[in-house]
A = this chain, B = another copy of it.
């Protein structure tokens, strides 16, 4: 075995990873219907005005504003209605002095009219319409190009496509959009003991958990998980599996990252590329390696499911969002008292899972090998490397999964 000679602080590990990661330049065209959450690869300019014509912004009557001067409830103005203009049809008559046309919200404005009086301020009797309020020129009209002007920048490259931004692109008539590619993440569980769920377990074997948790985290944060078959602990099998993973942007291996004689992942990364660090002063997740293979980022995660998943949140999510050009994750944080005393390992930054019960943070951490340390928790608190005890009642910031 080859014990850790040293570990590096978490912040140093994060800096090394950030320095090695550059946003992806690869772009692709996707259907606008599926573009939610993607990142625009180029500026979106308007090919035409939106709306493409001036339209009524209210249900009511299109008038010449001057014709309604002085109108009140007591002294209404009377105009003759010459046309009903619905949406989707062009007016055929111009509005001359003394005339008006009924307009539906969204219908094109007739020539001659320069204002819309809302129906609530009118009363109709056949084709005679009474107006109870004076209009001002331009009122209740959505002018041609008011929303978006032809040639205008509608959305800049780098914009994340929220619902309204998808809508703005639809408004231009586009059905496709150029976006940056989503980072593809190769996920590889390793270990002689690891068996795919659904298969029978032989003595000494356990089910693969990490490819499931890692894939969920990757998909949650804008990546595309590419799950590989489990590899056994031989240089040959690991080496072949890693080669297969090199087609993707990021490689996340779990297992074989520690100090045992069959912890070979470090050797494989070193043989094919470079190891940038091995061992982080965190708990859980200390035996973690990070390196580069042929320009691809490679994470060697502990096999323990809680160690692996914690590291995925702390180390992989930020880099994934950076590659995807997404903003940093927005984590929900709530401050509350700790329900029971927690002891923390000296000299390691600890992520300690908690369950929220009756407004207090109940310690939920069992062991790094126990997935229930996380699956029965709502979130975690962080305990810095210099702190060994957090007393019950201390106000802590719970960060929710």
Q: A167 contacts B233, CB within 8 Å?
A: no
- Contact: A87 with B162, CB < 8 Å? no
A53 at interface by CB-CB < 8 Å: yes
Beta-carbon contact of A216 and B262 below 8 Å: no
Q: A164 and B371: CB pair below 8 A?
A: yes
Task: Point out which of A90, A154, A330, A370 has the most chain B C-beta atoms below 10 A from its C-beta.
Answer: A370
Task: Please determine whether B167 and A1 come into contact, CB atoms closer than 8 angstroms.
Answer: no
Picked from B171, B219, B263, the residue with its CB within 8 Å of the CB of A207 is B171
A330 to B106, CA, bound (A): 35
Could you say which residues of chain B place their CB within 8 Å of the CB of A261? 84, 104
Q: A180 to B386, alpha carbons, bound, how many Å?
A: 45
Which residue of chain B has its CB nearest to the CB of A119? B1
* A341 interfacial by beta-carbon distance below 8 Å: no
- A371 x B173 contact (CB < 8 A): no
Could you say which residues of chain B place their CB within 8 Å of the CB of A86?
A: 192, 233, 260, 262
Alpha-carbon separation in the docked complex, A390 to B138 (Å):
25
Main secondary structure of the interface of A (DSSP, over half): loop
The stretch of A22-30, A63-71, A141-149 in contact with B is A141-149
Residues B173 and A201 in contact, CB atoms below 8 Å apart: yes
Let me know if A90 and B204 touch, CB within 8 A: yes
Residue of B nearest to A210 (CB): B167
Residue of B nearest to A200 (CB): B173
* Chain B, Cβ-Cβ closest to A55: B369
**Chain B contacts of A366 at CB under 8 A?**
146-147
Counting chain A residues whose Cβ lies within 8 A of the other chain, the interface size class is: 35 or more
CB distance from A14 to the nearest CB of B (A): 20
A228 within 8 A of B: no
Cβ of A277 within 8 Å of any chain B Cβ, yes or no, is no
A36 engages B369 (CB within 8 Å): no
A273 is an interface residue with CB less than 8 A from chain B: no
By beta carbon, the residue of chain B nearest A85 is B204
For A33-63 the 0/1 string (1 means CB < 8 A from B) is: 1001000000000001011110101011000
B206 touches A33 (CB 8 A): no
Q: Give the chain B neighbours of A400 by CB distance below 8 A.
A: 330
A362 to chain B, nearest CB (A): 16
Task: Assess whether A294 is interfacial by the CB under 8 Å rule.
Answer: no
Q: Does A128 sit at the interface, judged by CB under 8 A?
A: no
A340 at the interface (CB under 8 A from B): no
A362-401 contacts to B (CB < 8 Å): 366-372, 374-375, 377, 400-401
In the complex, per-residue mask of A348-359: 1 if CB is within 8 Å of any chain B CB, else 0: 000000000000
A119 touches B259 (CB 8 A): yes
Taking a contact as CB atoms under 8 Å apart, the answer to whether A212 and B170 are in contact is: yes
Q: Which of B87, B163, B168, B232 is in CB contact (< 8 Å) with A191?
A: B87
B-contacting residues, A243-270, CB 8 Å: 258-263
**A204, B108: Cβ atoms closer than 8 Å:** yes
Interface contact A262-B170, CB-CB below 8 Å: no
The answer to whether B259 touches A367, judged by C-beta atoms less than 8 angstroms apart, is: no
* Selected A-B contacts with CB under 8 Å, 7 pairs: A50-B206, A88-B192, A88-B194, A104-B261, A146-B369, A163-B214, A167-B209
Apart from A86-B260, A105-B258, A171-B209: 16 A-B pairs, beta carbons within 8 A: A1-B60, A4-B120, A33-B227, A48-B201, A53-B204, A59-B260, A87-B192, A89-B204, A106-B191, A146-B366, A163-B401, A164-B306, A167-B209, A168-B371, A170-B207, A170-B212
Instruction: Tell me the A residues contacting B by CB distance below 8 Å.
Output: 1, 3-4, 32-33, 36, 48, 50-53, 55, 57, 59-60, 84, 86-90, 102, 104-108, 119-120, 142, 146-148, 154-155, 162-175, 191-194, 197-199, 201, 203-210, 212-217, 219-220, 227, 232-233, 258-263, 303-306, 309, 312, 330, 332, 366-372, 374-375, 377, 400-401
